[in-house]
């Protein structure tokens, strides 16, 4: 499997999705406000991180792949900041469109004494316009000679529409591997993509079969394969790992290794990034899923990291050898 990792540096991935900024404001609380019964936070620190599809792209870069990115930002300072961060990291940013009808999506969390006090979101979630879809379509076409795979990272913020997915599939499928990290409510959009990676809740709602045991898990996986006419479905199952369902009927369950978990946010982003990069580098789907499972396990087990690296995958492979079950 290490041979595939070596190929990451010559593998191009186009990430299309809802770009977001995660803003963290840290502080201390010493008193209650005289204006309302709320704490007064004295701000001590603040930082901005890449979120949503931008975090998926960040994973592809930290794994050593080449990133092309398409999405929208607002006509605002945060949008400029995102583009600057992308440029610094070496992404091709020609697919980023300034949409003056919506702000750059930002989630702000205020944290005092290690506890989140409030989160506020600034976003407009309406569907993107026809002209934005045509812009993205042109960009996808221009990327084709340079990429081996496409990731559609759907956070339900308006970028991923049925029309956009259809357009991408028409332009790039079936030659390019197209993987989707789906959102509940959008399963009708993804017909014809190569693979989707719902978590258990998303797979339950997308298939209409509530996953409560192995039997319902298998029924849901098979139902999604059929419904979406895709090559494969991977249901991610948190600390239980993931299950891969392939069109040829093969089912592979990949468990995780027991480990101390620090932060599970972003595990899904790591899965889709690693999986697509591995598959695009030539790995078969079951191997790509095993590599992605190592990457996500390593990320949730490390403090303060939200992205995978080749080193963390190799270290995990050395220490963690879960028994893969075919059924």
Ligand X SMILES: Nc1ncnc2c1ncn2[C@@H]1O[C@H](COP(=O)(O)OP(=O)(O)OP(=O)(O)O)[C@@H](O)[C@H]1O
- Enumerate binding residues for Mg ion (CB under 5 A): 268
Cβ 292 to Mg ion, closest distance in Å? 13
What is the binding site for ligand X (CB under 6 A)? Answer: 199, 236-239, 241-242, 256, 259, 261, 264-269, 271, 293, 296-297, 300
Q: If residue 42 lies in a helix (H) or strand (E), which one and from where to where?
A: strand 39-52
* Minimum CB–partner distance for residue 95 and ligand X (Å): 23
Closest CB to Mg ion among 33 and 265? 265
Residues acting as catalytic residues: 269
Q: Which residue has the tokens 């339950």?
A: 204
**Residue 25: contacted member of ligand X, Mg ion, none (CB under 5 to 8 Å, by partner type):** none
Least Cβ distance, residue 149 to ligand X (angstroms): 19
Residue 255's binding partner out of Mg ion, ligand X, none, with CB under 5 to 8 Å set by partner kind: none
Q: Which is nearer to Mg ion, 129 or 184 (CB)?
A: 184
CB of 56 to ligand X, least distance (A): 10
Which letter, b or e, does each residue of 177-197 get, where b requires 16 or more Cβ atoms within 10 Å of its Cβ? bbbbbbbeebbebbeebbbbb
Query: Which of 196, 144, 201 minimizes the C-alpha distance to 165?
Result: 196
Name the closest residue to ligand X (Cβ): 268
- Which two tokens mark 315? 């270290």
51 contacts 20 by C-beta, under 8 angstroms? yes
Partner interacting with residue 195 (select from ligand X, Mg ion, none; CB below 5-8 Å by kind): none
> What is the C-alpha to C-alpha distance for residues 136 and 95, in angstroms, rounded to an integer?
6
Nearer to ligand X by C-beta: 74 or 268?
A: 268
Q: Tell me the CB-side half-sphere exposure of residue 312, using CA atoms within 13 A.
A: 23
- 133 or 242, CB closer to ligand X? 242
* Bridging pattern class, strands 92-98 and 66-73: parallel
Tokens of 50: 């890449």
């Amino acid at each position: 499997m290490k041979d595939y990792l070596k190929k990451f540096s010559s593998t191009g991935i186009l990430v299309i999705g809802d770009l977001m900024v995660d803003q963290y404001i840290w502080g201390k609380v010493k008193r209650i406000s005289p204006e309302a019964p709320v704490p007064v936070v004295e701000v001590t620190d603040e930082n901005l991180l890449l979120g949503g599809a931008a975090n998926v792209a960040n994973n592809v870069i930290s794994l050593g792949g080449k990133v092309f990115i398409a999405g929208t930002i607002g006509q605002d300072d945060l949008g400029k900041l995102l583009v600057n961060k992308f440029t610094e990291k070496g992404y091709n940013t020609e697919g980023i469109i300034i949409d003056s009808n919506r702000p750059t999506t930002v989630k702000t969390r205020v944290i005092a004494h290690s506890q989140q006090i409030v989160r506020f979101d600034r976003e407009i979630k309406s569907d993107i316009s026809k002209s934005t879809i045509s812009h993205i379509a042109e960009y996808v076409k221009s990327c084709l000679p340079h990429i081996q795979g496409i990731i559609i990272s759907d956070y339900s913020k308006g970028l991923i529409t049925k029309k956009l997915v259809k357009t991408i599939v028409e332009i790039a499928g079936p030659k390019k591997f197209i993987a989707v990290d789906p959102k509940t409510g959008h399963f009708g959009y993804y017909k014809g993509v190569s693979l989707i990676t719902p978590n258990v809740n998303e797979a339950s709602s997308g298939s209409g079969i509530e996953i409560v045991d192995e039997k319902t898990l298998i029924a849901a996986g098979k139902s999604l394969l059929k419904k979406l006419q895709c090559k494969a479905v991977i249901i991610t199952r948190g600390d239980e790992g993931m299950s891969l369902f392939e069109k040829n009927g093969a089912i592979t369950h990949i468990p995780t290794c027991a480990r101390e978990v620090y932060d599970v946010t972003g595990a899904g982003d790591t899965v889709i990034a690693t999986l697509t990069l591995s598959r695009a580098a030539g790995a078969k789907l079951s191997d790509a899923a095993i590599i992605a499972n190592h990457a996500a396990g390593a990320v949730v087990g490390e403090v303060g990291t939200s992205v995978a690296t080749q080193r963390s995958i190799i270290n995990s492979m050395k220490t963690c050898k879960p028994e893969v079950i075919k059924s």
